[in-house]
Amino acid sequence: GAGVSQSPRYKVTKRGQDVALRCDPISGHVSLYWYRQALGQGPEFLTYFNYEAQQDKSGLPNDRFSAERPEGSISTLTIQRTEQRDSAMYRCASSSMGRGEQYFGPGTRLTVT
C-alpha cells in the first residue's frame, strides 16, 4: 500500500510569506506527527494528532506555527510570516496508534530567502 506522502517536496519562499505543508498519512493510521529536522540533527517533535484532535503542540516554536487535521486524515502544517530561521526539513510520520511504529514521509525541504 501507499506510504506517507508529503507535498510539496521542496518549497522556496520569501521572508514574510505564509506557507502550508501537507501530509497524507498511511490509510487508517490514527496518529500523525510533525517534526522539524535541521542539518546534522535528528528530527525534533513539533506536534501530534490522534484522529482529528491535536494532542500535544508543545514542540511548536512559536505562534506563527499551527497545524490541523480536520477530518482525521490529511494534515496541514502552516507557518505564517516565515523567517529565515524557519528553513529546515519538515517531516511527517504516522502510526496505527500512539505508541506504535512510526512511518515517515519523504519530507518537505523549506528554504526561506
Partner 1 sequence: GIQVEQSPPDLILQEGANSTLRCNFSDSVNNLQWFHQNPWGQLINLFYIPSGTKQNGRLSATTVATERYSLLYISSSQTTDSGVYFCAVMASGGSYIPTFGRGTSLIVHP
Q: Which three cell numbers stand for residue 30?
A: 490514527
Nearest approach in angstroms of CB 81 to partner 1 is: 26
Report the residue number, 74 or 89, with the smaller CB distance to partner 1. 89
Report the residue number, 72 or 106, with the smaller CB distance to partner 1. 106
Contact predicate 4/11, CB 8 Å: no
Report the residue number, 14 or 40, with the smaller CB distance to partner 1. 40
Question: Which spans of this chain sit near partner 1 (rule: CB under 8 A)?
Answer: 31, 33, 41-45, 48, 55-56, 58-59, 89, 91, 98-104, 106-107
Residues 6+ away with beta carbon under 8 Å from 75: 22, 23, 25, 32, 34, 49, 67, 68, 69, 92
